[in-house]
Structure formats: structure tokens, C-alpha cells
A and B are shown apart, each in its own frame.
Chain A
């Protein structure tokens, strides 16, 4: 109202003021989903967990299944996932998230149940639970965050650590002769008849974020079909323990992680193949 009375230094500035602000509710094209709580993430700057959490929240919100969804948090960096997702959640013992999710889904078969697990949780201590949950074809979604390292305990070698990759317990690089090879558990479980949808995505670039969201959406939607386990691996970063800036870590991810852990669908429902 008093805009007219202001003295504009030049005509361009005057024009800007005259224009109405773009930042109005009806112009919102992207905002934090409400299914994410307002609690700030405890994750390190640049960590992919935050994006993965947000995508889960977006999918739950878009499908309008907040009242129907139960999540299972792992042990690892994402142990506090339940602080951020405004849904009913259960915190599992290390490696047992898919067993806990099995227990929930078996007694509440109508609900959407997912587990959220890191590479140590899912592919080391919880290997048996992961394989047998997938082999039974439990109708749950397993979201697997693979950053090739143990984050919470401070950067130790994970089952998914790349050959020659340094960690605090492979300080000279992972020697495959004595430390074994990185485990492609996603390919492993894709071979099981119990899995219905298996895919590997990442969240390091905008396009990948969109694809990862679609994969998570598929994982939730397929649960209604009762055809088996859905498994979404997200190749992620760990700037703190890779000892890089977030931007460098995403570059490293692209140059080193992705050639080994190739992105894309590994197993898609037969009906989808045309």
C-alpha cells in the first residue's frame, strides 16, 4: 500500500516491487512433507539419509497412508528415524529390522510395513533375516541405504565397502584377499523367488531423487498386491567418514560407487514389462 510512496532508485527496482511476491501459498511447487516432523535431522551435513527420509514421507503423504503405515528403524545412523517420520514406528535390534517388520506385517496384513536399514544392519549382522524375509516373500518394503561404511560407529569397514576403499578398520584399503569382497546383497536377494520388485537408486542428483521416489512409491503400492518383498537400495554417501565435503562425496559416489553398484531396476514385476 505504501509501496508507491517509496522512492525507487531505478525503474527496474520499481518494477520488482510492483510485482506481487512469488512466495505465496498457491505458488508452492515443493515443500517439506508434513509427514516429516519439524525435528531437525541429526545427520551430518550433506548426508543422504535426510533425502531418503523425506522421500518416504512424501510417498506416505501422497498415498495418504499415514494411518496405515508402520515403519521399522534399524541400528546405525538412522536409528532415530522415528524422530523424523510422523508415523507409528518400531525400533529394531541391530540387523533384525526385517524380522520385526515380518512380525508386524503378519499380524496386521492390511497395513503398509517397511523397514529402513543401513548396509551394516542389513548386509552384515542381519544377513540371515534379510535373506529369509525376502525368501518367504514377506509383503513388506525394505529400504536399504548403502554408503559402503559404518557411519554411526565412526567409519569402520562395511560388507559393502569397495575394494581398496579406506576405512578405520581397513586403513590401507580393503584388501579383498583377507577382508573379502563387497557384498551385492541386492542382486543376491533379487534371485530369490520371494522378491517382487528389486531396484537400486541413488539420491545424489535431482533426477536420481525423482527416480528414487518413484521406486519407493512402487514399493509401497505393490504391497497391496501381496506378491512378495519389495526391495529398494539407495546408494548413498557418507561425507564425514569418507572424509570429504558433501559435494566431493557425491562426486566420489558417482565415480566409484556407481560403477560397482550400478543403478537401475534389477527385478521388475512381470506385468510391468511390455
Chain B
């Protein structure tokens, strides 16, 4: 499965609730919360779990308040480093 899984963290203390990220999000994942931060702004929260990590929200954020994470399910990871091989050997990896 090559589904992309993304997530964001919004620094709600920096957020001024301008909603440009809400507008930029192609997944409609974001909305304005009903709570205010310490500066009195209604900050933005992620309400859907469909984030693809496309970074659009972070790109338009004037406060630099959004960090974006992305993970692809079939990402290959190095599981072993084999050195000084002297004869043929077979390595199997459990899917």
C-alpha cells in the first residue's frame, strides 16, 4: 500500500486564526477552533485524519506556525548492513 499519511502540528500560541491555511487545505482537514489562545485569537485545529502532508497550509501560513510531517507506508528501510561477504548468502525479509 503506497498510501501517503501526513500530519501537521500547529503552534496554537503563534496562530492568529487568519484561516489562510483552512482555505489552502485541499483535504478540508482544518477549521477554526472555538477556543482562543493566550493572545485572544481563535486558533486553527485539524479535525480530519485525512492529511496528506502536502505542505500547502504551512506554505501560506504567515506565522510559520505549522510543521508538516509525511510518511509513505511502503517506505523502504535499511534493515541490515552486510559487509565482508565471503560466500553466497540469502536474506529474507518478512513483509
Residues in chain A within 8 A of chain B (CB atoms): 16, 21-24, 27-33, 36, 40-41, 43-51, 54, 203-206, 209-210, 239, 245-247, 250
Contacts and interface: CB of A to CB of B under 8 A. Distances in A.
Nearest to B41: A45
A35 to B, nearest CB: 11
B14 A51 contact: no
Contacts of A40: 13-14, 63
A246 B68 CA distance: 22
Closest 4 CB pairs of A and B: A50-B62, A46-B18, A45-B16, A32-B64
Given A28-B69, A205-B24, 12 more contacts: A22-B53, A23-B7, A30-B68, A32-B67, A45-B18, A45-B62, A48-B62, A209-B59, A247-B19, A247-B20, A247-B22, A250-B20
A56 to B, nearest CB: 12
Centre residue among A48, A246, A250 by max chain B CB count within 10 A: A246
Interface residues of B, number: 33
A18 B18 CA distance: 35
A65 to B, nearest CB: 19
Nearest to A53: B64
Interface string B53-84: 10110111111111111110000000000000
A206 B69 contact: no
Interface in B27-70: 41, 49, 53, 55-56, 58-70
Centre residue among A50, A54, A239, A247 by max chain B CB count within 10 A: A50
Contact of A30 (B13, B55, B63): B55
A92 to B, nearest CB: 23
Contacts of A29: 6, 53, 55, 68-70
A205 B60 CA distance: 6
Given A28-B69, A250-B20, A203 B41 contact: no
Centre residue among B9, B60, B68 by max chain A CB count within 10 A: B60
B5 A206 contact: no
Given A45-B16, A206-B56, A209-B60, A23 B70 contact: no
Nearest to B14: A40
Contacts of B16: 44-46
Contact of B66 (A30, A46, A209): A30
A41 B35 CA distance: 21
A116 to B, nearest CB: 15
